[in-house]
Amino acid sequence: MYVERILEKKLDKYLKTKEIIAVVGARQCGKTTLLHHFMSKLNNKEILSFEDQELLQLFSNDIKSFIEIYVKGRDYLFIDEFQYAKNGGKQLKYIYDNFKIKIFISGSSAQDLAVQGLKYLVGRVLVFNLYPLNFEEYLSFKDKQLTKLLLEKKVSPEILKKINKYYLEFSKFGGYPRVALSETLDEKKEILKNIYNTYLLREIKEILQLSDNSKLISLMKVLALHSGNRLNYEEISSSVGLSRNELLKYLAILKQTFILFEVKPFFTNKKKELIKSSEYFFLDNGFRNLILNNFQELDSRMDKGLINESFVASELIKKDLELKFWRTKSKAEVDFILEKEGEIIPIEVKSKISSENISRSFRSFIEMYKPKKGFLLNYDFVGEKMISGTSIIFRGLVETTKII
């Protein structure tokens, strides 16, 4: 079955423009499926994959023959796994500059795709990130009627409770499409394990040119345990057996391959606010649960607060928003801060909440920065109240995709 992706609507808008469309994202997040589905609506097209070594060699060593066979007379060209082409950018630039054809490419690593192609295509390419399913996409596969209700301006607590049943599963197994499509719990676990071992570990090992991935596996475990906390680089380096520079390199690759994302501190006053040490989250909760070998029900977990925070952060990152956190030296804190079009938006994540349950830290941020609005996300309390001129909006966790 095909899970409808929100990115498809974005691609529609650029179908008639000349620029090359590049879609990048983690392995098994659905890039090939999305683009095949998108291309199925188009006529006079050519769909290729550079996993085919013979095809790759033709493109790399005999571009004129490649053009004769696959470009001339076509309106659309799609090349999957484009990162395998070592001089792909130069070749693609030649096609772009000399032939009237709309080109789509995809790649599993943002770093590899940039190295092999994008640097030659400045002004000629539009890059889109495809992530594992966000909750809206996941719910649309599970229950289209509830998805319509979720997207309404106001969602009642009763409807939120119905939707939360799906959230419990999503927070446990995450949003990789093949996992979402699987019916049994054992199958979901097995597919997650396969993605981890066969695709992600192998790809990162190749990128880092590791002969042994034991330190990488140890680092992933440590990062899963420290997820959502400010990292002490020296402590982690020591526990895993990596130098600081090696650790930073590993972290950079884990970000570029869409496994982790970094949340940096928000500050304007260096004397009062923390300005160093980022927090790292896994993009997919199911992936973190696999590493920890913990698929317990959410309410029985010691880290359920972190899982909820990870969910909210991931949903916002999947919208390509830049996320920060706020901490002061006096230990006041707000989970997440968004800066959008000059507006500062604080976001606090709780499980249960009432209109009076607003933390002292959240109030401190409001008094200091006077934002127009702030969000308190929780399971099922909805409402709105004013504090010191700031509109405090209470919404369900599952509404994260639509709050900004």
- Tens of pLDDT, residue by residue over 272-305, are 877 778 999 999 999 999 999 999 999 999 999 9
What is the distance between the terminal CA atoms of the chain, rounded to a whole angstrom?
A: 30
In 10 A of CB 193, how many CB atoms? Answer: 12
Beta carbons within 8 Å of 249's beta carbon, 6+ residues apart: 208
Q: What integer best gives the mean pLDDT of the chain?
A: 91
What pLDDT sits at residue 87?
81
Sheet of 390-396, strands arranged across = 279-282, 260-265, 323-327, 333-340, 343-349, 373-378, 390-396, 383-387
pLDDT (average), residues 319-326: 93
Mean pLDDT of 199-203: 80
Q: Is the pLDDT of residue 1 over 80?
A: no
Residues 6+ apart with CB under 8 A from 157: 380, 381, 382
The pLDDT of residue 96 is: 94
Per-residue pLDDT reduced to its tens digit, 242-273: 999 999 999 998 998 889 999 999 988 888 87
* Dist CA 347 CA 399 (whole Å): 13
Q: Indicate whether 166 pLDDT > 60.
A: yes
Q: Which residues 6+ apart lie within 8 Å of 206 measured at CB?
A: none
- 243: which DSSP letter? -
Please state, in angstroms and as integers, the Cα–Cα distance from residue 54 to each residue in 82, 116, 215, 261, 389, following that order.
Answer: 14, 18, 35, 36, 65
Token digits of residue 56 = 């790759």
pLDDT at site 114: 59
Residue 115, pLDDT above cutoff 80 = no
* Arithmetic mean of pLDDT, 118-135: 88
Average pLDDT over residues 98-112: 83
CA distance 246 to 90: 31
Strand partners, 392: 374, 385
Check if the beta carbon of residue 75 is closer than 8 Å to that of residue 42.
yes
DSSP3 helix / strand / coil % (the chain, rounded to 5):
50, 20, 35
Specify the pLDDT at position 117.
62
pLDDT band at 210 (very low <50, low <70, confident <90, very high): confident
Domains of the chain listed by start with CATH number = 7-129 (3.40.50.300), 135-402 (no CATH)
Q: Is the pLDDT of residue 153 over 80?
A: yes
Widest CA span in the chain = 70
What is the value of pTM for the model shown? 0.92
pLDDT digits (tens, 9 = 90+) for 371-382: 999 999 999 999
Residue 401's pLDDT band (boundaries 50, 70, 90)? confident
DSSP 327-364: EBTT--EEEEEEEETTEEEEEEE-SS--TT---HHHHH
In Å, what is the CA distance from 121 to each residue of 73, 87, 113, 257, 373? 23, 12, 11, 21, 40
Inter-CA distances, 385 with 148, 273, 388, Å: 26, 27, 10
The enclosing H or E element of 87 equals: none
> For 20, what's the count of Cα atoms within 13 Å in the CB-facing half-sphere?
29
Minimum mean pLDDT range among 142-156, 176-190, 273-287, 312-326: 273-287
Whether residue 2 has pLDDT greater than 90: no
> Span 319-324, mean pLDDT?
93
User: What is the mean predicted confidence (pLDDT) over 164-184?
Assistant: 94
Q: Which residue has the higher pLDDT, 229 or 353?
A: 229
Nearest to 348 by CA among 331, 363, 330: 363
Find the range with the poorest average confidence among 47-51, 120-124, 306-310. 120-124
Beta bridge partners of 328: 273
Among the listed residues 92, 111, 112, 110, the one whose alpha carbon sits nearest the alpha carbon of residue 102: 92
Q: Which helix (H) or strand (E) holds 54?
A: helix 53-61
pLDDT in tens, 39-50: 999 999 999 999
